[in-house]
Amino acid sequence: MKVRTLTKMALLSAAALILGYIDSLIPLVPGVPGIKLGLSNLALLYAVFFLSPFYTVLLMLIKVGMSSLLFGNAVGALYSLAGGVLSVAIMLLLRRNRAISVIPVSTFGGIFHILGQIAVGAVLLGVRPMLAYAPWLLISGLATGILLGVCARGVFYGLERYERSKRA
């Protein structure tokens, strides 16, 4: 791994952990567990668009592993891993088409993250409780996916302007 890539991975991992911690402090829907903004996924969106699939998957695994060790537990890690795997898979698949922008990629990432969590919940808690909870989770995945996509678009635009100004 090149020093530049290693540095990016370290910075993205740190950003994902910090954003994940901040996210855990924000009660999006008080009394409803599992619904979060998913701020740490901004780091993953960057990886999807600017790093290779290998490093994107590696970043997701680092994010899930370190977040679970620092802020969570083994059961939470299962939910995060399932959501992360499905989310990254669909985002990388959509990213193969360069015409698809960050907002739809993020939106599908949010929805598929929730689908992975619902699958784990169905195994651990049963299908019936998850079916009752699924609409709320899917709506939150859709909304947060769109919101994070809009945020990422602004960040990407700022990064592109910065890179152009460095070359000028």
Question: What's the pLDDT tens digit per position in 71-90?
Answer: 888 898 999 999 999 999 99
Cα dihedral 91→95→99→100 (10° resolution): 10
Question: With 70 as the cut, is the pLDDT of residue 139 above it?
Answer: yes
**Per-residue confidence (pLDDT) for residue 18, from 0 to 100:** 95
Cβ–Cβ under 8 Å, residues 116 and 84: yes
The domain in which residue 43 lies consists of 3-167
15-23 CB contacts, 8 Å cutoff, 24+ apart? 15/40, 15/42, 15/43, 16/40, 16/42, 16/43, 16/44, 16/59, 16/62, 16/63, 16/67, 17/63, 17/66, 17/67, 17/70, 19/43, 20/63, 20/67, 20/71, 21/70, 21/71
Q: Residue 164: pLDDT above 90?
A: no
pLDDT of residue 136: 87
Tens digit of pLDDT for each residue in 13-38?
999 999 999 988 887 777 666 688 89
Each residue's pLDDT tens digit, 85-134: 999 999 999 999 999 999 999 999 999 999 999 999 999 999 998 888 89
- The more confident residue out of 156 and 166 is 156
Token pair, residue 41, equals: 């996924």
143, two tokens: 């909304």
Any idea how long the chain is? 168
For residue 37, give the DSSP letter.
-
CB 48 within 8 A of CB 36: no
The DSSP secondary-structure symbol of 30 reads T
pTM of the complete model? 0.91
**Dihedral pair phi/psi, residue 105, rounded to 5°:** -60, -45
DSSP conformational letter for 111: H
Report the half-sphere exposure of 117 (CA within 13 A, side-chain side): 26
The number of folded domains in the chain is 1
pLDDT on residue 97: 95
Instruction: Give the Cα separation of 69 and 141 in Å (integer).
Output: 24
Q: Which CATH number does the domain housing residue 56 bear? A: 1.10.1760.20
pLDDT value at position 17?
Answer: 95
Give 34-68 pLDDT, tens digit per residue.
688 899 999 999 999 999 999 999 999 999 999 99
